């Protein structure tokens, strides 16, 4: 690769190498300060090239995946310590057993006695020992048992009592942190995530069941949380790119966002004060995660080709392959500043969603494209 950004067909995905490195190092340092150990969530980057840089920076070689496709891909590239974070079901056990058979230390997640029993039974039948975390609900946003639910003990006993299964520990994700309104709220959410997970682990231990691992995390709680007492690992993924939702939570500054969509101005609607670009929702994603925040960033903040935000220009609406750019306050556009053919970069609301609309990252240093990193998608 030896090209510059202006030769790239648009829309395409740009990764600012320096900002990416800054975010990676900052979180590594933060987790280390807190005395924690990181497990990188690769659902955001889905790229072995990106993940190798994060490991080279000092992240442990342990990852969390959100799909079995990610598990296969990262395992094929040599990563062996993998947790699959979506509640396991019967239909996926043959494939997970196959991965374990290739030497992957694969941990699963469940929250029911039914699946705990199935794990033991199918593990024996398939000749493997399935390791599973029990998911704990620490914020009411999704799956998991309450920390002191009696079923937790039942599940722990089932997993520990069958040679086809093993209890890895307890796991939680305070996704509710995305709805916090201030740093103190995120800090409180982090402490809630930690303390409730520790209560669950102690609940198991008090029943005589070994609970080796306590795994928690989200980018906001990993950033602002304080104590990690009783916690064996912190998971995060979005932080490597950051995005406008994270900026709205003060997890990062807008200038820290490493990911953007390169688009081209394809038209002017002068009477409406709109720039039309070829960066529609297909390239940006339909994510509107900032809509509930104090500052609604539309479909993304518009920057110049060097990645500097213009200030008040946002993608106010989007069709499949058209973005409509306007001043967020309805102000006039200086159309001479944006002739047709002008390249702009749009910062994403949600890095995971925007990156998933693309199959590669164009890694840039200034306007120089230094590398193209492929990424995977689908299941």
Interface positions with a copy of itself (CB under 8 A): 6-7, 9-12, 43, 66-68, 85-92, 95, 110-112, 114-115, 135, 137, 140, 142-143, 175, 264-269, 272, 276, 278, 281-283, 285-288, 319-322, 324, 339-341, 352-353, 356-359, 377-379
3-state secondary structure at position 145: strand
Angle (CA) 357 359 364, round 5°: 100
Could you tell me the end-to-end alpha-carbon distance of the chain, in angstroms, rounded to an integer?
29
Other Cβ atoms within 10 Å of 150 Cβ, number: 11
Nearest residue (CB) to a copy of itself, 183 versus 372: 372
Nearest residue (CB) to a copy of itself, 28 versus 279: 279
Minimum distance of a copy of itself from residue 64's CB (angstroms): 11
Nearest residue (CB) to a copy of itself, 11 versus 225: 11
Nearest residue (CB) to a copy of itself, 330 versus 341: 341
Residue 11: is the preceding peptide bond cis (ω within 30°)? yes
Give the C-alpha separation, 322 to 40, whole Å: 34
Residue 176 and residue 141 in contact, taking contact as beta carbons nearer than 8 Å: yes
Nearest residue (CB) to a copy of itself, 155 versus 228: 155
Nearest residue (CB) to a copy of itself, 95 versus 226: 95
Minimum distance of a copy of itself from residue 184's CB (angstroms): 25
Nearest residue (CB) to a copy of itself, 304 versus 321: 321
Nearest residue (CB) to a copy of itself, 211 versus 283: 283
Minimum distance of a copy of itself from residue 346's CB (angstroms): 15
Minimum distance of a copy of itself from residue 282's CB (angstroms): 6
Minimum distance of a copy of itself from residue 88's CB (angstroms): 7
Q: Which of 321, 303, 322, 320 is nearest to 312 (CA)?
A: 303
Q: Which of 299, 301, 304, 324 is nearest to 312 (CA)?
A: 301
Give the C-alpha separation, 327 to 339, whole Å: 16
Residue 213 and residue 133 in contact, taking contact as beta carbons nearer than 8 Å: yes
Residue 215 and residue 235 in contact, taking contact as beta carbons nearer than 8 Å: yes
Query: E strands along the chain, which residues?
Result: 3-4, 12-16, 38-41, 62-65, 81-84, 105-110, 130-135, 165-171, 213-216, 233-236, 259-269, 274-277, 301-303, 309-318, 323-327, 343-347, 360-365, 368-374
Minimum distance of a copy of itself from residue 321's CB (angstroms): 5
Minimum distance of a copy of itself from residue 125's CB (angstroms): 16
Minimum distance of a copy of itself from residue 103's CB (angstroms): 22
Minimum distance of a copy of itself from residue 353's CB (angstroms): 6
In Å, what is the CA distance from 286 to each residue of 142, 281, 299, 353?
Answer: 21, 5, 8, 8
Nearest residue (CB) to a copy of itself, 14 versus 228: 14
Residue 159 and residue 116 in contact, taking contact as beta carbons nearer than 8 Å: yes
């Amino acid at each position: 690769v030896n090209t510059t950004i202006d030769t790239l067909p648009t829309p395409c995905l740009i990764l600012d190498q320096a900002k990416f490195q800054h975010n990676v190092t900052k979180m590594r340092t933060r987790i280390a300060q807190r005395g924690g150990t990181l497990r990188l969530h690769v659902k955001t980057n889905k790229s072995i090239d990106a993940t190798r840089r994060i490991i080279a920076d000092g992240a442990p070689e342990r990852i969390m995946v959100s799909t079995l496709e990610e598990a296969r891909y990262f395992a094929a590239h040599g990563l062996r310590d993998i947790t699959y974070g979506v509640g396991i079901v019967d239909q996926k056990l043959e494939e997970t057993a196959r991965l374990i058979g290739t030497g992957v230390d694969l941990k699963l997640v469940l929250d029911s006695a039914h699946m705990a029993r199935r794990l033991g039974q199918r593990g024996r039948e398939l000749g493997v020992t399935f390791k599973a975390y029990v998911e704990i609900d620490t914020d009411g946003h999704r799956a998991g048992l309450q920390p002191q639910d009696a079923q937790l003990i039942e599940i722990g006993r089932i997993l520990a009592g069958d040679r086809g299964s093993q209890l890895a520990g307890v796991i939680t994700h305070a996704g509710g942190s995305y709805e916090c309104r201030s740093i103190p709220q995120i800090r409180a959410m982090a402490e809630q995530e930690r303390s409730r997970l520790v209560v669950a682990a102690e609940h198991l231990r008090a029943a005589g069941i070994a609970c080796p691992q306590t795994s928690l995390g989200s980018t906001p709680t990993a950033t602002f949380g304080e104590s990690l007492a009783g916690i064996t690992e912190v998971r995060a993924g979005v932080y490597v790119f950051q995005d406008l939702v994270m900026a709205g939570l003060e997890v990062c500054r807008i200038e820290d966002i490493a990911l953007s969509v390169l688009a081209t101005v394809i038209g002017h609607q002068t009477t409406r004060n709109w720039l039309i670009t070829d960066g529609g929702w297909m390239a940006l994603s339909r994510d509107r995660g900032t809509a509930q925040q104090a500052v609604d960033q539309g479909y993304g903040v518009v920057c110049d080709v060097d990645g500097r935000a213009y200030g008040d220009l946002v993608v106010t609406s989007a069709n499949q392959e058209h973005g409509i750019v306007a001043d967020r306050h309805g102000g006039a556009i200086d159309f001479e500043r944006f002739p047709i053919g002008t390249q702009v970069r749009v910062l994403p609301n949600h890095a995971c969603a925007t990156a998933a609309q693309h199959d590669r990252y164009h890694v840039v240093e200034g306007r120089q494209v230094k590398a193209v990193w492929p990424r995977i998608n689908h299941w």
